Every structure is written in C-alpha cells, then in structure tokens.
Chains A and B, each alone.
Chain A
Amino acid sequence: MLGFIVRRTLLAIPVLLGIVVVVFLLIRAIPGDPCTSLLGERATEEACERFNEAKGLNEPVPVQLGIYMADVVTFDLGDSVRFSRPVNQLLIERLPLTIELALSALLIATLVGIPLGIAAARRHNTFVDTATMAFANVGVSMPVFWLGLMLAYLFALVLKDTPFALPPSGRLSAGLFSEPYYEVWGWTFQEGSLWAKFHEFVANHVIFNTFITGQWDVWWDAIQHMILPSVALATIPLAIIARITRSALLETMGKDYIRTARAKGAAEAQVVRRHALRNSLLPVVTIVGLQLGLLLGGAVLTETVFNLAGVGRALFDAITGRDYAVVQGFTVVIAAGYVIVNLLVDLSYAYLDPRIRVE
C-alpha cells in the first residue's frame, strides 16, 4: 500500500512541473505587455523601464522561469501588479470562498446524485428510471451561467416575499461580519508569520468559521448566500453522478454473486446495500473526482453570475488583465489541487478494491 502511494505521488510531479512551465510560457505569449496594460497613458518608455526593472521583467525568459520555479517551491508566488499585493495574500482571501463553493456543490451532487442513481437502477425501466434519466440528460445540457441567472430570478424576485426567498449575490448580507475564530478566542500570532497567514486562510472559510465559533446568524446568512451558487454549480455533476451510479449498479446487479445472494434469501435492500453498492462505487468515485475540474471551470462562471470574489473570477480578471503573477500563482495552486484530488481518487480505489492494493 505504501509503495502504491509513493509511486502514484511521484507520477504527479512531472505533470505539475509541466503545468507550471506551460502556464509560464502561455502567459508570456499574450500580446501586449503588463506595463502598458497597467499604466495606460502613463506608460512612457522610462516609466516602463522602471516598472519592468522593479518586477523582474527585464531578465531573459529562461532566467525568469528559473527564478519563478525556485519561488514556487518556496511558496513565494510573487506580487500582483494590479493589486500591488502578494499573490499569497490574494489566495488567502479568495481561495476559501471557491473551496466552500466547490465543496458544497460536490456535496449536493453526491448526496442527491447517488441516491437518484440507485433509485433509477432499482426500478429499472419504470417511470422512476425514465424520469431520473430525463432529468439527468437535461441537467448535463444546461449552461451553468443560465441556470444561475434563472435561479437568481426565481428565488430573489419571484419568491421575494415568501419564506423561500434567497439572496442573488454576494457572500454575506451588508452589515454582517464573520469574526475570525482566533479573535473570538483571543489567540495572538506574530504579525505576518506563516502561522498567522495559515489561520487567516482557515478563518476565511466563512461557513466553517462561523460554525465553530457559534456565530449562528452570520452562519445562516452565509449558508443562504451559498445555496443558489452551489445548486447551479452542482447540477451538471449531479446529473453525471446519477447516470454513472445507475449504469454501474445495473451492471453489478447482473453478476452471478448477486444471484447467489438472492438465492440464499437475502432481502433485496440488503443485496443492494451489502453486495452491489460497494462493488459499483469504483466508477462513481472516479467520476466524483473528475468533476473537480468541471467545478473549477464552472466556478468562474458561477462566481461571475453571483458576484462572488473567489479564485475563479479573480483568475479570469487576471488573465484578461495580464496580471502574470496572479495567473501563474492561481493556476499552479488550482492545478495542484486538481492533481492532488486525482491522487486521492486513485488511492481510494485501493481502499475500495483490495485487488488493486495487492498489485
């Protein structure tokens, strides 16, 4: 098992390095330079010269790449030229929102998708099955941004004065503030230390932070703000998960050992739960893992629709505004997250299917 983990982990490294290099080169291929795009009319030759000098943009590209690689390894992601702040700091502020958004979406997709798929498979070729699959087909065909806008219209305008009303944008209502847990509990850290940054990052997960500190009104407000974006984002993965669960379960239900289990007189519910489900979970886990890339792409659109300051939206702004450092830093972090999740998916195979472990 340990050998398996080590081997899989080592395999992820070249992919990560390749991603860093590709992003680095791609960004430098963007026409126009950051100086003129940032300084605009003030971009005289001298001003640009000083600007490039200050940002290290005068070095040859291979040298820049080398410096950047060394920085990435030490988690120094450079400064954003637009915000004049370290990329690290931007990540601390924006990544938690996207993590909470993606996780809520994944949670909804899994908690609804798997039972739907099971229900469809158990009542194969009945109305339940047909309806579920029709729903799944429509679900995968919906543009995320359209669904988001329509949900916002429905819940923020049509249902405005009903108990079902939900806020269409932002993360918290005006006037509400999530007090970081370390302030609530009176913890103090050395200003600017890595440890302080780590706690800031954790505390920026608003739903989590308000939950552990018991700020219930803020917590409930944050949940309400998260419902529409995460439902919009969850729809496609939900539909895919339901479809995969159904077909995997149907395939397993045709196996000999299921017949045997039935023959020994096990109740149908038990046959499904004890014998069929675990053996059908492998493809489902793969798909759940693969959805993460889709969720991150969808996060750009969802964050745009719901005016959320997450990494997706920030990355989009940075790409179109040629903010080299932000694009590089964010992409590397996102890609790293993606690779790590795929790694976890592979490792969970070994847990679910002992045959892989033995190999």
Chain B
Amino acid sequence: MTLESRREAVEQLAAEAAQFQRLTEKPLSQWRLALRRFRERKSGMIGLGIIVALILVAIFAPLIAPFGPNDVLVGEQEGIRPRDPPCVHIFGCADDKPQHILGLDANVRDEFSRVIFASRVSLTLGFFTVTIALVVGSALGAIAGFVGGWIDNIIMRIMDVVLGFPSLLLAIAIVAVLGPGLRNALIAIAIVTLPGYARVMRAQVLAVKEADYVAASVALGAAPRQILMRRIIPNALTPLVVLATLGVATAILEAAGLSFLGLGAQPPLAEWGSMLANERNTVFTAPHLVFFPGLAIMITVLGFNLMGDGLRDALDPTLNR
C-alpha cells in the first residue's frame, strides 16, 4: 500500500466515523438544523454581519458621528468651503485644516455625519415597509387561498393588475397621489411589493391545506379561523421569511430611487437617496457627495440580499443533507 492510498483510506474512515457520530447525536429540530445550515454559509453570515453592524451604527449614530446631521459648520470652523473634498489627516491632509473624512456638502455640513445618521432613515423605512407589505399581503393571500371561490378571484386579479405595472412607475404614481414625503413613499412601496407576499402565502396555504394534519383538525371539529391561524399560517411562514429579508433590500433600493426623484425624503432630512440627488449636477466637481451615499445604499442592500440568500439556503428542507 502506498503512502498516498493509505492516507486516503484513513480519511475515508474518519469521514465514516463522523457520519456515525452524526447519526447517534440527539435529533435536531427543524429550526436548529436551519440555524446550523445558515452558519455554514459564508455569504449569509457576511450579510448578517453587515446588518448587525448597520443596526449598531444607526443606534449609536450620535456617538459615532462627530457632528449632528444638520449642523452647518460655516463660521464654526476656519478654512472650510461648501463641497470641500474629504480631508483625512493621516492620509496627508494638511494638519491645520479641520478633519472631515467624507468631506463637506453644499450647505457646509459634515458628509460623514449625515451618511451615518441617514442609516436610521433607511433601516427604519426598510423594516416598516416590509412589515406592512408582509402583514397585509400575507393576510390577503391567506384569505384568498383559504376561502377560495370568487373572493380568491377578486383578490388575485387585483394583485395581477398591480403586478402589471413596472413597480417603480406605480410607486411614483401613488406618491403623486398622496404627495411627496418619506411616509408616503413607504406606503407606496408597501403597496407595490404587496402582491409578492400575497402570491407566496396563497400558494403555501393551498399546498398546506391538503396536508393530513389539516384534515385531522377539520375532522376534530376545529373552527376554520383556528385552522388558519394555528395550523396553516405557521407552516407557510418559511418562504415568507426569505421573501421579507430580500424585500427589505428592494424597499431600501426603491425608496432611494423615489428620494432621488424628489418624491421621498425631503430636505433637510439626511437620507442617502436625496443626499445623492441634491448633488447629482455637481458630480464632476464634488464626486464624493454622490459616491459615499450611494456606497452606503449599496452596502445596506447587499447585506440584506446576502442574508436573504443565506436564509433561503438554510430554510430549504430539500437541501438537508
């Protein structure tokens, strides 16, 4: 036996031993298994890391940011002008100039502080939008799937019409009706993303409705509402969790788009999309005012996308090895 093949044999034995050990372990619950699978995926963990870091930044924004988001620094500091490029002392910026690591904006406010504080706006908006869309959408989907008949038909045809529009255009139209502003942008995005949740929930309900344990509940005389709430919805939640996580990413991106068009956050509120929009005509002279807010949007959206992908892999039982 060569050394090479001997090593292979040993490795195979070790693998078999590990397999055996896994079989003798206490059986794991679905959620524990999902958690383990989630931890194994690098991308999901990176996403989670980004999100946790962002939430911490949002909570501790006043401690991290050197200035308030709307502090106008003109007159407070010497030698600064609007739209000054970033000045970082350790990167060779003259020591007598005040340090602003992401530069100053058109109103002589510290761009870094504004970017930091804006994380609060985007995260809150993302969570609220998805919560509304998730609750309303899955309620509609559950009713449609559970009741069936003409109610199902009406609800789902309305959803089809909403899906018939390019989502950003419909959101623009809704905001035009409600009036520009962050709250209305939130409602608009919730409405245009609602059909996704309704469709998934309906499909899940239809699938779960046929399961034996639901038939058992019916046979035992449970009330329809009880069956829906206790038996069907908990079992339909898995794909919705994934959809909701990815939905936060979409919501933040679309809200930034609306703000970019002047329909979302209004000045002087620090919000990435509108900060970027205000400076889009000066991109050639002050690129830092466009670059950093956009980068912040990208990192945030990336975090939720990665986390959503990781969750999808982890919660998909067909991937269970």
Contacts and interface: CB of A to CB of B under 8 A. Distances in A.
Contacts of B284: 153, 156-157
Given A23-B173, A141-B305, A153 B298 contact: no
A150 B298 contact: no
B18 interface: no
Contact of B276 (A140, A146, A293, A312): A146
Nearest to A292: B166
Given A31-B179, A293-B167, A300-B168, A146 B290 contact: yes
Interface in B166-187: 166-169, 172-174, 176-177, 179
Contacts of A147: 294
Given A19-B165, A150-B290, A145 B276 contact: yes
Contacts of B280: 145, 149, 305
Contacts of A116: none
B172 A300 contact: yes
A294 interface: yes
B164 A141 contact: no
Contact of B169 (A137, A144, A322, A334): A334
Contacts of A316: 172, 261
Nearest to B306: A137
A18 B309 CA distance: 34
B297 to A, nearest CB: 5
29 contacts: A15-B164, A16-B164, A18-B157, A19-B161, A30-B177, A31-B177, A137-B43, A137-B302, A137-B305, A138-B302, A141-B299, A141-B302, A141-B305, A143-B273, A143-B297, A145-B277, A147-B294, A149-B280, A149-B283, A150-B287, A150-B290, A293-B165, A301-B168, A301-B261, A312-B169, A319-B173, A331-B169, A331-B173, A338-B166
A296 B257 CA distance: 13
B112 interface: no
A293 B277 CA distance: 23
Interface of B: 43, 157-158, 160-161, 164-169, 172-174, 176-177, 179, 249, 253, 256-257, 260-261, 263, 273, 276-277, 280, 283-284, 287, 290-291, 293-294, 297-299, 301-302, 305-306, 309
Contacts of A22: 161
**Top 5 closest pairs, chain A to chain B, by CB:** A297-B168, A146-B294, A18-B161, A141-B301, A141-B302
Contacts of B260: 143, 145, 301, 304
B314 to A, nearest CB: 16
A147 B169 CA distance: 20
Interface of A: 14-16, 18-19, 22-23, 26-27, 29-31, 133, 137-138, 140-147, 149-150, 152-153, 156-157, 292-294, 296-298, 300-301, 304-305, 312, 315-316, 319-320, 322, 327, 331, 334-335, 338-339
Contact of B164 (A142, A143, A152, A338): A338
Question: For chain B, what secondary structure do more than half of its interface residues adopt (helix, strand, loop), or is it mixed?
Answer: helix
Given A26-B174, A30-B176, A150-B291, A300 B261 contact: yes
A143 B165 contact: no
A203 to B, nearest CB: 26
Q: Which of B165, B179, B298 has the most CB of A within 10 A?
A: B165
A232 B253 CA distance: 15
Contacts of A315: 169, 172
Nearest to A294: B166
Nearest to A14: B157
B150 to A, nearest CB: 15
Contacts of B173: 23, 26-27, 319, 327, 331
A31 B179 CA distance: 8
A18 B160 contact: yes
A52 B173 CA distance: 22
Given A146-B294, A331-B165, 13 more contacts: A14-B157, A18-B160, A138-B298, A138-B302, A141-B305, A142-B301, A149-B294, A152-B283, A294-B166, A301-B260, A319-B172, A319-B173, A320-B263
Contacts of A149: 276, 280, 283, 290, 294
Given A145-B257, A153-B284, A319-B173, A140 B161 contact: no
Given A18-B157, A319-B172, A143 B294 contact: yes
B243 to A, nearest CB: 15
Contacts of B174: 26
